[in-house]
A and B are shown apart, each in its own frame.
Chain A
Amino acid sequence: MFKKLIEESTGKSPWLFHINAGSCNGCDIELVSVLTPRYDAERLGFKLSGTPRHADIVVVTGPVTQQSLARVLRTIEQVPEPRCIVTMGSCPQSGNVFRGSYAIAGPLSKYVHVDVDVAGCTPKPEAVIDGLVKATEILREKRRAMK
């Protein structure tokens, strides 16, 4: 029963950690707008946390530049299990217009398993909420699979 309680709670209290891996700031602004009074993701329990140790969902924006790659991977490793990785926008999924640049190490899926992709350049806040809700479901599944 206690396990069930934890599982339910995991689905209702996803804390976000946002990594900017060389993003143009478009996605970052849209992600923040999800937490503003207009969309208020706190309704669904979402909260932006300041440190990866507190996070459940890691949101990566930007095409993962050579400079940011090591930091992104280190940050993701610091997130305790169960965790979920969401790429936001086209950049971390493929490199987008920066694809093939000497400065780009992405896409992110080359290095870590990405759970949810939110496509768009940038995605609408509604699409971001969609993606985060999807990530929450995955998070709950992962919690169920634990132990």
Chain B
Amino acid sequence: MFTPAFFTTALLYLGYILIFPGFLFCFVIGLLLCGIDRKAVARMQKRVGPPILQPFYDFFKLCGKETIVPAAASRTTFMLAPLVGLAALVVIQLFIPVFNFRVFRNLPEVADMIVILYLLLIPAVSVMLGGAATGSPYAGIGLSREMVTVLAVELPLVMVLLSVAKAVGNELGTGLVFSLSGVVDYQAAHGSLIGHISMIPAALAMLLIIPGETGNHPFDAAEAETEICEGLLAEYSGAPLGIYKLSHAVKMLTLTSLFVALFLGGIGTGVEHLVAAVGLTGAVAGAVSLILQVLILVLLCIVLTLVTISFVHAVTARLKIEQLFKYYWTVVTGLALISLVLAWYGF
């Protein structure tokens, strides 16, 4: 069993987890997106804003701070909850294909949308667990609001995923396609899904879901720092708080790259053709096209962050929790529903 091939594979997967689509990639790009978001919001408010690297500074500073565990808190839960949340996000990132590149190439059925849907819940649950463990009344309010937010966002997200699955399934004649690799493969062959009329409302709904899922500005009732002191995070300090902040940043990357995989998956094909046209072959071509695809992914993520998170942040005021719930279950769910109906009838 312990053949050299096994070790090579193990090392490869370790690299996947720790470096490329995994931890390091998430860390750098996530915090970068967060910094760009803060800078863009500042510019839209006619401010100079913090340096792009500010989230890095914040994270490292928090690593150097004292960690205070509240007397009423359960220490294990308090310290482990942020790590669980971050781990779940890194796993999602492993499941999301970067155009042609997939970690679980041999197991397409593993990385399907249902799993991602469940995994996306884990960071929220981890925040709730950790917050509830502190026993702070602010966390109590934050907990109830976070649950409502998750409920509000989950329904339209399910409908968006369902309509994508149905649209791809219709085209391929195989019912519903829940495999994310399948969706990206279809787009690589037939062009991005955003080009379909039936998918435009779903894409819009997804754009509106991104800030809700990450807990960004108009939908941040759960961690409103001006009224309930960041709610669930009120009692956190030091490194665990830093990991929560990091999770928040990685979530931006996860959701924007999920959007790219769902609706813009066809763009990567052009890169491969380009690399082939230049005359590169073999491993070199693979490496070059991978780097280019990653760059394109990052660029798209930045653009999506600017549009869905920064811009929305700059022009809106925070919604009350019941307004948030109503908004997601009417407007956003409505958009997703239109898309689903259109996809069902094959438009």
CB pair B64–A37 under 8 Å, yes or no, is: no
Q: When the two chains form the complex, which single residue of B47, B49, B58 contacts A13, counting CB atoms closer than 8 Å?
A: B58
A37 to B48, CA, bound (A): 8
A56 to B60, CA, bound (A): 13
CB closest chain-B residue, reference A53 = B237
CB pair B47–A37 under 8 Å, yes or no, is: yes
- Known interface pairs A6-B60, A13-B58; A40-B234 also in contact (CB < 8 Å): no
Interface residues of chain A, those whose CB is within 8 Å of chain B, are 3, 5-10, 12-13, 37, 40, 42-43, 45, 49-51, 53-54, 56, 78, 80-82, 143, 146
Interface residues of chain B, those whose CB is within 8 Å of chain A, are 38, 42, 45-51, 54, 56-61, 63-68, 138, 225-226, 228-230, 233-238, 241
Least CB distance, A143 to chain B, in whole angstroms: 6
A40 to B230, CA, bound (A): 22
CB pair B226–A9 under 8 Å, yes or no, is: no
A3 to B64, CA, bound (A): 8
CB pair B57–A45 under 8 Å, yes or no, is: yes
A54 to B225, CA, bound (A): 11
Least CB distance, B37 to chain A, in whole angstroms: 13
Chain B residues positioned under 8 Å from A80 (CB to CB): 65-68, 237-238
CB pair B60–A81 under 8 Å, yes or no, is: no
Q: When the two chains form the complex, which single residue of B46, B63, B66, B233 contacts A81, counting CB atoms closer than 8 Å?
A: B66
Least CB distance, A72 to chain B, in whole angstroms: 17
A3 to B47, CA, bound (A): 32
CB closest chain-A residue, reference B223 = A50
Report, nearest first, the 9 A-B pairs whose CB atoms are least far apart.
A9-B60, A6-B64, A50-B229, A80-B66, A50-B225, A51-B229, A13-B57, A53-B237, A12-B57
CB pair A51–B57 under 8 Å, yes or no, is: no
Chain A residues positioned under 8 Å from B56 (CB to CB): 9
CB pair A10–B230 under 8 Å, yes or no, is: no
Q: When the two chains form the complex, which single residue of A9, A40, A146 contacts B58, counting CB atoms closer than 8 Å?
A: A9
Least CB distance, A101 to chain B, in whole angstroms: 31
CB pair B57–A9 under 8 Å, yes or no, is: yes
- Known interface pairs A37-B45, A78-B68; A43-B230 also in contact (CB < 8 Å): no
CB pair B61–A54 under 8 Å, yes or no, is: no
Least CB distance, A5 to chain B, in whole angstroms: 5
